[in-house]
Amino acid sequence: MADQTPPALSLTRRSLLFGVATAAAAASLPATSCAAAQAQPAADSPMPLRFDASGRFKIIQFNDTQDNHLTDHRTIEFMERVLDAEKPGFALINGDVIDGGPTTPEQVYQAVKNVVLPMESRAIPWAITFGNHDEDSIEEHGTGVTEAHIAEFVRTYKYNLNPPAGDRPFGHSDAHLLIASAHDAARASYSVWLVDSGNSMPEDFQEAAGEDVPHYDYIRPAQIDWYLGRSRAAEARFGAPVPGLMFFHIPTYEHRDMWFGGPAKTSGIDHNAAARKHNIDGVKHEDVYYGAFNSGIYAAVRDRGDVQGIYCGHDHINSFYGDYYGVELGYCPGTGFAPYGLRDGTRDQHTLRGARVFELNENTERVYESTRLIFAKDLGADMAPAKQPIDAPAPLPDYVTLPSATPTPVPAEGSSLSSNALSSLS
């Protein structure tokens, strides 16, 4: 979720935890280990997915389900209707899976479970990426549940495809998933790239930057190295570049540049020209809330030439996509009915709740054929603006286990943190 007002500039527990976790990781690992954890060889990239007998494959992108353990029932029902209608080969929730509402570790896992069960109960392979709100319960309620804990939790589901998060301080949802050919199970016809675009910059940075620099995190150089390494190794493994789509939560600078036709342009006239030039379709109802620094992921993807599109979320009421010099850039609008929407408090609030569908056909030269949006309003969802929470979360599947390491509780806002307590929050 994109914050619609600048974050507070005080030193909060979140910035303290960020600094402690990063320092602890740096102190306990060799100097090159974070980069090494990212730059794993691509030869072992798994092929857990496969085109069907006709050579087709469908991907569903959900975004910003973003709720607590009493998820709005319309979010769950919309996801179920989309999955039942489309029958995808893979589905993902692309960041901000939950919000900061859970008050206990158990409630965090229940909140996640509510929105992954639509895929899991239908035996649809699925994964998540992390957004900027998935750890908010640490700051807001002291749950102690980190992205690494959530990654460990979702990996116990039968149909989850998230790899181990590792002990690095970032990139907890990075994954390279290959889709095997219908005609040859040993050959990959397409790639799905999942990237963790980070959370928010530490509060001391935000205070120093003020409003001159965005406060959201950015994809790190080690993650780009990881992508390039795996991309090149996949080419060596299969004898040609493997085309693919890339998903992460926080949009790139180039998403905004495309809308206006270049980084120095800002006017409606500029957009009208850009819409024709880049074949832009969809709406932009808020700004593009990109990260603190331009990470270079778009440039890396464009130069490498194998990723055909980068799709994000974060800005709930943007839905546009277009072709920006050979790389499709686009959004899935917010799927969840709990966070902000269009003109909150009115009957318009939920009109952009949606999911994005991607159609692949390995019998074509490009493989990637098309994308389209499905809106909850068109599937009969109740458009009343007030939240409609479920009565109680469903029980966990009996084969799902909670993380082995119990999250360390964090003191409530305003209480002091001892140095010993801080050292344990790594």
Ordered by start, the domain boundaries in the chain are: 55-379
pLDDT at site 414? 39
**Half-sphere exposure of residue 148: CA atoms within 13 angstroms, side-chain side:** 15
Q: How far apart are CA 261 and CA 257, in angstroms?
A: 6
pLDDT at site 166? 79
The whole-number average pLDDT for the span 119-131 is 98
The whole-number average pLDDT for the span 260-289 is 97
Whether pLDDT at 12 is above 70: no
Whether pLDDT at 73 is above 90: yes
The whole-number average pLDDT for the span 262-281 is 97
421 pLDDT band, cuts 50/70/90, is very low
Q: Are strands 56-62 and 321-324 parallel, antiparallel or unpaired?
A: unpaired
Q: How far apart are CA 64 and CA 93, in angstroms?
A: 7
pLDDT digits (tens, 9 = 90+) for 290-330: 999 999 999 999 999 999 999 999 999 999 999 999 999 99
CB of 295 closer than 8 Å to CB of 220? yes
Whether pLDDT at 67 is above 50: yes
CATH topology of domain 55-379: Purple Acid Phosphatase; chain A, domain 2 (3.60.21)
Q: Are strands 126-129 and 244-247 parallel, antiparallel or unpaired?
A: unpaired
The whole-number average pLDDT for the span 99-125 is 98
The whole-number average pLDDT for the span 106-111 is 97
pLDDT digits (tens, 9 = 90+) for 391-412: 999 999 999 999 976 676 555 4
The whole-number average pLDDT for the span 244-254 is 98
Statement: the pTM of the whole predicted model exceeds 0.75: yes
17 pLDDT band, cuts 50/70/90, is very low
Dmax over CA atoms of the chain, in Å, equals 61
Q: Indicate the DSSP class of residue 7.
A: P
Report the chain's mean pLDDT, rounded to a whole number.
88
% of the chain residues with pLDDT over 70: 85
CA 57 centroid distance within chain: 21
**Closest C-alpha among 332, 329, 334 to residue 351:** 334
Report the length, in residues, of the chain. Answer: 426
Q: How far apart are CA 393 and CA 188, in angstroms?
A: 38
Task: Find the range with the poorest average confidence among 167-181, 248-262, 369-383.
Answer: 167-181
